[in-house]
Structure 1
Amino acid sequence: MVQDTKEINRATVITELLRSRPTSRGQIAQVTGISAATVSRAVDQLISEGLVREVSALVSESRGRRPVLLDLEADTAHVVGVDLGASNTRFAIVDLLGSTVVEREIRTPADFSPAKLGEWVVAEVREAAGDMWNRIQFSSVGLPGAVSQDDGSVSNASNLAQVEDRRFLDALESSFGIPVEIDNDVNYALLGEQHFGVASQYPTAAMLTLGAGLGAGLAIEGTILHGRRGLVGEFGHLPIGPLGTRLEHLVTGPGILRKAAEAGVTLADPAELFVSDPSNAITTLRGNFDHALLIVLTAITVSCEPEIIVLGGGIAKSLASSLTRYEDALRQNLHSSPKLVLPGLGDMSGAVGAAVSGLHRAYRELGVSPDALTSLPVVTPSLVTRDQPAVMSAGLESVPS
């Protein structure tokens, strides 16, 4: 469909406001190359639609009318990003400008039926949203499994098998009553870190999560890689151990406990594998873990040559002191290594990334070019909760609910 000139100018003005807000009519004209008169007409139309407002006049020493600053109306639309995990579910409701207005973390009722689980997700969002429920236009839900780009089916969700059942998705969509997008939770986590976390300066990046399962997301030049069946990044299925033991069984929480039990070692928690003064048996188990982790880090590195790999999930929290050692091992094998870091958004990476995906859909509805989305939304200095101080180094601050 060919856009007419009026639509193109309108979209250009909105895009510039998203990038550099607040700004003036004159500044938009200067940056975009559109005539001042055309910009003014587009702005007047956007003001009449309730999308843009005048916020203040710029101080100027010159005579004549002072330039007026413009900003987008944040409450025009809201989106919700959900990270549905086997243990915990996290979601964030954000406004059109990317500011968080609601954030929640709750236990996942993993014993619910597929349909009941889908209804539960929406009920929790609806309760938290309150009066703003009717302003939520898009929802994005991250799932612990591979999501097919062909038909939207979900597979390999061993830790929360209900999401593979079509009845879960049907209940989710019908209960929301708005467009619902689903994707692998790690893809969303990477999207969140690239926009508001530690990977914000790295267009080519990867995310590896180590918890109840293993997942990986890959991005090249700001674009998340998707396979037709959603299997890109499913490195946990690599058969690397005796008799074809899958890699995820050596580095995830359940796998660590299983291997410890087979070795006659009692671990109350997988984190005990990383204690500072381990026994000989634990040292052997830790060596096996390190070897398996180095394999998956190598596989990620040679698959897309990321500048940075973000390690998230419960197991990754125990690896902070070992990241340099893993970088050295990669450098020895490959003569180079990506930077290895923990998430800047903590456990909220997936929910934030899902919200970013929802915002991208909202921006496309406003006419923003897909090429501009890799740098949007822009929130300075971070994605923050309204009326809360920004956190310069850590991205979104966890706000108590």
Structure 2
Amino acid sequence: MVAEALPPPDDRLEDRLEAVARAHGFAAFGIARADAAPETAERLNQWLAEGRHGDMIWMESRAEQRGSPQGLWPEVRSVIALGMSYAPALDPLALAAHRTRGRISVYAQGGDYHDVVKKALKGVARWLIGEAEDAEVKVFVDTAPVMEKPLSAAAGLGWQGKHTNLVSREHGSWLFLGAIYTTLDLTPSKAGRDTCGSCAACQDACPTDAFPAPYRLDARRCISYLTIEHNGPIPVALRRGIGNRIYGCDDCLAVCPWNKFADTAHRHRAFLPRAELAAPSLGDLLDLDDAAFREVFAGSPIKRIGRGRMVRNAAIAAGNSGDRGFVPVLERLAKDESPMVADAALWALDELAS
């Protein structure tokens, strides 16, 4: 499939590179100079100084490398920014009223994006090395100290919206971002332009008030952070706001008006939702032991949070459901060997009793 889409050799390198990227499944492509987002380090350091990263210690420990591409790799001259679409066919907010079902963020309902995007990045990088033998490259997707969002904005994929995520005119808020660093001097694309205007939909939609101001996120109040990254009891004051969200939150993304232009035809098939992850039963999740958790979430990014965090999240969702049918399983979980599971179950029992 990729070979059939290769461009003629007389096109300029940047055009051929874009054609190859699209043949590998990327819906968005752009190039930025390695020094194109100089404000990144200052904004990152301020965010860290305010403690808004919560338990994400890796953000702090490698801040110097994260602040600029040259901080990670001094030889880099250009950044190839790439986006793979996971635009949902259904409204991500539709499950809000189905309180006995868990809501999983759209990005985690299909295959693990780390594997899919990295494989495609490596394919594009191999082609580039073949075309420019003096080129050196490094590929990154999410797990390295790379600030993909400001770099993608500098490369013209979109802009960082008021919810701090990338927004694309063509793909809305639904892009997995990857980057290829290279020693080549490539012609940069035109940077993205902020088109949020006076819209505050994402700010107004947040159930836990995680935005102290437009373009600023306090991760400690963000449901995605609380249900995925935070390993321990979730602050009691934020539990009711979590509703039936058990892994991540799409609210600030889903309400963005630019999503009406997102074409699901560009969605990578690897991210089509798995039936068991589209609307899982809270009762089934509360019954999970370690072995069952690993089986259900094999091949999913969800597997990395472990059984404890998932059952903790499901217990909070059960407490928010108003359904006393969950009482027996919650009573059992109140004696769970995981303190955070037991704590969440006891809280849920109190909520259902009130």
Q: TM-score, normalised by structure 1?
A: 0.23
Max radius of gyration: which structure? 1
Q: When you count strand as a share of all residues, which structure comes out higher?
A: 1
Q: Which has the higher contact order (CA 8 A, sep 6+)?
A: 2
